[in-house]
Every structure is written in structure tokens, then in C-alpha cells.
Structure 1
Amino acid sequence: MATENTDVLDRAREQVLERGIGLDEAGVLEILRLPDERVTEALELAHEVRMRWCGPEVEVEGIVSLKTGGCPEDCHFCSQSGLFSSPVRSVWLDIPSLVEAAKQTAATGASEFCIVAAVRGPDAKLMSQMREGVKAIKEAVDINVAASLGMLSQEQVDELVEMGVHRYNHNLETCRTYFPNVVTTHSWEERWGTLKMVRDSGMEVCCGGIIGMGETLEQRAEFAVQLAELDPHEVPLNFLNPRPGTPFGDQPTMDPKDALRAIAAFRLALPKTILRYAGGREITLGDLGTRDGLLGGVNAVIVGNYLTTLGRPASADLQLLQELKMPVKALSATL
């Protein structure tokens, strides 16, 4: 077994580090199966890959929910679904509050501000609010505006491009074979279709998901290579933070070592992609694990709180980046 494990890291060093070609599904699975004593070695290699193909900069992003709760979909991890008894209820954010959130995000040094709505896809009201909100933000703050509004039509994709939204987030959440265990009100293929339209429009594609939802290691590897096939600009990596009242509310939190193995594996599958720490890292990894991930392939963070869960204070993440001598990516470099 030790020889096999040595081989996968040797192969990854030659293929991923030297040539920038991500591991295939079998290789990713080998990384996910590494014994605990090899995890540090895998993280060190993943960090080298990140430095070689992405550089030392870390992209910092803030997110805010324009429309929270009351979603008609049944994503089993999400407390914003209107179908579950979880305590999030439908709330709309007004435009001045949206602009204020963008200003606060920019004040942390973030180059990216993402507007999120808990919907299957945007209706005319939401698109109108987006148009007004993006315009107001761009007039008030020097920051890139991204959006996450669910599944889109081609007309809506074109409209977002016209507004000046530069990146669109739509997570696949998990691999194709496990998706029916997570969501039943729409299909993985519907999400994939939106992502292809976004990519073809010229907007940057942000697409990731949640690990630790009960999927097998094989399915985790499947997910990594399906993301690699999509070739997104950015992959947000969430770890399940079980929310009361949801179908996944009783799931155990992910083992920290498994989370770190996944970080290394996803970096080795996606050598040139922005790999972003997203929800659940605090409960799964804590402060020490957050540091390990940043030294193991992660090169972007969401600062502050998430949509329905608390994160670390932005100042704590920024201080950590300073300690690790990782420069925050400047806005001018992203325009």
C-alpha cells in the first residue's frame, strides 16, 4: 500500500506540479484514501502546485443575500428551503443595505462582492432588483460584482452580462451520481446547462459544492473530475455544516483529516483554478485547519459570515493571511 501511495504523489509531482495537468478520477481517489500520516505530504505538494500555477495571491470575497429563505427547492443541506422546518424565513434586502454591505466588504480589502438569492431561478422582480443593485454598487464602490441566482435562461445570462456582473456562481453541489440523494426538485443536468451558458457568455464561472454530505470517497473523486471537466474559474469548497430542521440536520460533521485530504485532492485535480474556502470550514477545521488548508492548496476565502451561518471575523482571516505572507489579490489585478 505504501508503494502505491508514494507512487500517486510522485505521479502528481510530475504530472500536476511540473506539467499543470490535473489528476484523473483514479488518482484523486488515491489521494482521498491516503493514510493520516501522508496527509501533510499531500498538502505540501498541493501548496507547491498552487504556488506554481496560481501564485501566492489570495482572493478575498464577501457575500450577501438579496433574498433569503422561502426557496421552493428541497436541497437537503439548506435551511433556506421553504419546504423544511428550519428557522430561516423569506426576507428581501433593500438596495441601500446592499450597497452598505458592498462598502463593508470592500473595506476588508476584498476584490469580489457576490449577491446571492435563495431561488430556483430569478423572476422579473429579482432581475429588476439586480439591475438596480448592481448599478448602485458600481456607482458607490470599486469592487467586482458577482451573482448567484440559481438556474438561468439564456436571456437572463445575457442580461447579467449587460449589467456588468463579471462572475456567476452556481454550484453543482455534488457529483452526478449522488445528486438525487441531495436534491429531488431539479436535476444535476439542469445546473450543468446553466453553467455552460454562463461559460459561453464570457462571464467567469464559479462552481463548487459541499463535501461531507454522505457521499462515498469514490463519489467525491467523481465530483472533483466533473468540476475539472467544466473548467471553472473558481471552485468554492464547502464542508457540510448540518442545519437543524433540514434532512441533513443530523449528519455528523466531517473528520478534519478527511477535509484536508479533500482540499489536497481537489487542488491536484484542479491545478490552475481558484480554490476558495467557503462554508463549514470553521466547524470542520477550526483555526489550525484553516491555516493548514491555506498551506495546502486553498487560495481564496470568503470573509465574514455566510448566508445563514456565522463565519470567522474578516479581521481574523486577514491577520492569518498576513502571518502566512500571502498577499490579498488587489482589485486592479482582477479587472
Structure 2
Amino acid sequence: MTAAAERTTTDVLVVAREQVLERGVGLDEAQVLQVLRLPDERMEELLGLAHEVRMKWCGPEVEVEGIISLKTGGCPEDCHFCSQSGRFPTPVRSAWLDIPGLVKAAEQTRATGATEFCIVAAVRGPDARLLSQVREGIKAIRESGNDIQIACSLGMLTQEQVDELVAMGVHRYNHNLETARSHFPQVVTTHTWEERWDTLRMVRDAGMEVCSGGIIGMGETDEQRAEFAVQLAELEPDEVPMNFLIPQPGTPYADYEPIEGRDALRVVAAFRLALPRTMLRFAGGRELTLGDLGAEQGMLGGVNAIIVGNYLTNLGRPAQRDLDMLSDLKMPIKALSESL
């Protein structure tokens, strides 16, 4: 076999072009690991292929979403990355958003052209008070004439709670697996990865869309990043948020260094090749990790959704800057009618 022929049969990007781009079959764990270990000089080739995959299997539209914290801080869980944990001496204090504030946030989100509005609460799982607040908030948003799709992220659920959210008209449910199953015990000790998985399965079976991703840069290895990508692929989520660790004061990860931009882009592209048909969303930490130029590279390297505005306890960049970026890249914003 010639050297050129051998390269064709073993080069992961050559394999990915046929397997993922042509047939729509995501890379397996070993293949994702090969992608994550590609040298920097092949980044342009990798990002270009990831963009081709995104365009073929997802199309050119970008889904825009805004998020709001209904209940902030005081969470009993010990997620080591989170400033909202009540177990760590962070600056975040418990607070509730009232219904008028929720309606206003939804209006502001819709005004950006966003089609998705996610109501988030820092809890292990929702109690009766929280579910009542969500129910009243959704009702008020609808009565205001806002037709935006509503998602929720309220922690782990019981079957009864899943059914309640379906009855409220919740379109999509976010519950991040956060990291690979093998790494999860180093990140969270107060509940298990399997508990999160069980909630997502109930959500899927109830007919809501599934949103689940995680945070890159929490001390995981390349092997665990590859593991995480294929575990998400097994879940078959409708959306995968890609977050990058923002070290939070007072948390166990306060002194972690943010990952480098090129590594973040490599992960994004690898996840696209593992999840060719899934909405891949830029979320928290992209500003810190990538900056403006890197964000554009990510949008041309497999990403097809974005959160605009601020995050839960961290500032993003002005929504208009992201909308301008999409305009400059000639990427149309997905319309509400197309999202239904």
C-alpha cells in the first residue's frame, strides 16, 4: 500500500468526510479522540469539514435563545463549577424573579429575533412553589401576546413533574449531563450522572425536546471529552449547549485556567462530527475562551445556535453584537414558524 493510500484509509478527517458528511453517521469514541488530538496545523481543515457537516445535515439557519434565572443561588448541590451552590462561599445570593420581571425578560428576548426563552432555576429539582411560579409565568407570557417558545431548566424531575411541564406547554427541557460519566464524580458528589440521565429519558419519552450538554475545561482528559461526545450522541438530544468553564470565585474551580481558544474550537468541531444532526449551541464562557474572532470561527466550525445576552450569573456580550456577527456571516436566524 502506498503512503497516500494508507493515509486515505487511516486519516480521521478523510474517514469523517465519507462517514459523517456523506452518510450522516457520527464518529465513534476512538475517532473523536483522534480528532481531539489533531495538530494545530490541521485546524482549518477540521473546522471546514465541521462546517460542511453542519450545513448539510442542519442547514444554514441559526437558532437564537435567551435565558433568565427565575430562582438564583442557594442550590443544595455541590457542582464544583457553580457559583449558585449554597455549599460554597461565593458572592451569589438567593433571589427570586417576580412574574412581571419574567414577562419583561421574555419580551426583550423575543425582540432580538430569538425563538426560544429558557426559564432556569438553581435547584436540585422543582418543588410545588417553583412549579407554581413557572406555571404562572408561562401563563403571563402568553397573555402578553408573546409567542416565543418556552424551555425550562429546573433540575432533576419526577415523572409527575415531567407531565406537569408538558401540560404547561414547555417546548424543550434543559438538563446538562455536564461531563463524561467517568469524570462526573470529580465534579459533583451530591447526585449521580445516572440521575441526570434518567430525567432526560423521561423528558424524551414525554415528547418534550431534549437539551443537554456540558462544560469543557473542568479537568477532564481528551479521552473523557471523547467519551462525553458519544454519550451525548447516545442520548440523541435535540440540542447540545457547549459551555466553557468560567472559574467562579469561591468555588473549588476558582483557580482553574480557562482552556485555550484553539482547544475550544477543536472540541466544538469534534462534537459536530460526533453529532451531525444535533443543534450545537454556543453558551457560557465563549467570550472568555474565544473572543470575537474565535466565536466567528466556531460559527464556521460546526455551531448552529447561540445564546444572546447575559448568562445566569455571568455577563455575556450585547445581543446586537451577536446578531451583527450572524449578519456578517450571512447566517439567517431561524424563524419561529420554522421552529414549531
State the TM-score, normalized to the length of structure 2: 0.97
Could you tell me how far apart the structure 2 residues matched to 1:295 and 1:96 are?
38
Contact 1:5 1:30 in 2 (8 A): no
Contact 1:59 1:299 in 2 (8 A): yes
Could you tell me how far apart the structure 2 residues matched to 1:5 and 1:137 are?
55
Aligned to 1:21: 25
Could you tell me how far apart the structure 1 residues matched to 2:198 and 2:8 are?
38
Aligned to 2:139: 135
Contact 1:29 1:221 in 2 (8 A): yes
- 1:209-259 Cα shifts (integer Å, max 9, x gaps): 001110000000000000000000000000001011100010000011110
Q: 191, 197, 210: which one pairs with 2:202?
A: 197
Q: 202, 214, 221: which one pairs with 1:216?
A: 221
Aligned residues: 335
Aligned to 1:160: 165
Q: Tell me, what secondary structure is at the counterpart of 1:268?
A: helix
Shift of 1:138: 1.7
Mapped pair 1:270 → 2:275: yes
Could you tell me how far apart the structure 2 residues matched to 1:44 and 1:311 are?
27
Q: 69, 86, 89: which one pairs with 1:85?
A: 89
Matched residue type, 2:147: D
Q: 1:149 to 1:322 in 2, by over 3 A?
A: same
Matched residue type, 2:177: L
Shift of 1:326: 0.2
Aligned to 1:225: 230
- 1:18-72 Cα shifts (integer Å, max 9, x gaps): 0000000001000100000111110000000000000000000000000000000
Aligned to 1:317: 322
Could you tell me how far apart the structure 1 residues matched to 2:177 and 2:114 are?
25
Could you tell me how far apart the structure 1 residues matched to 2:71 and 2:9 are?
46
Contact 1:5 1:34 in 2 (8 A): no
Q: 143, 147, 150: which one pairs with 1:145?
A: 150
Aligned to 2:34: 30
Aligned to 1:124: 128
State the TM-score, normalized to the length of structure 1: 0.99
Could you tell me how far apart the structure 1 residues matched to 2:335 and 2:87 are?
41
Matched residue type, 1:151: M
Could you tell me how far apart the structure 2 residues matched to 1:212 and 1:125 are?
35
Shift of 1:81: 0.3
Q: 56, 60, 70: which one pairs with 1:66?
A: 70
Q: Where does structure 1 lack aligned partners over 5 or more consecutive residues? A: none
Q: 101, 107, 110: which one pairs with 2:105?
A: 101
Could you tell me how far apart the structure 2 residues matched to 1:196 and 1:24 are?
22
Shift of 1:3: 4.0
Aligned to 1:48: 52
Matched residue type, 1:306: Y
Could you tell me how far apart the structure 1 residues matched to 2:108 and 2:281 are?
20
Matched residue type, 2:25: I
Q: Tell me, what secondary structure is at the counterpart of 1:10?
A: helix
Aligned to 1:253: 258
Could you tell me how far apart the structure 2 residues matched to 1:193 and 1:36 are?
38
Q: 171, 187, 190: which one pairs with 2:192?
A: 187
- 1:80-102 Cα shifts (integer Å, max 9, x gaps): 00000110010000000000000
Q: Tell me, what secondary structure is at the counterpart of 2:117?
A: strand
- 1:144-178 Cα shifts (integer Å, max 9, x gaps): 00000000000000000000001000000000000
Q: Tell me, what secondary structure is at the counterpart of 2:11?
A: helix
- Moved runs in structure 1, 4+ residues, more than 6 A? none
Matched residue type, 1:208: G
Mapped pair 1:238 → 2:262: no
Could you tell me how far apart the structure 2 residues matched to 1:188 and 1:6 are?
34
Q: Percent identity?
A: 75
Contact 2:8 2:15 in 1 (8 A): no
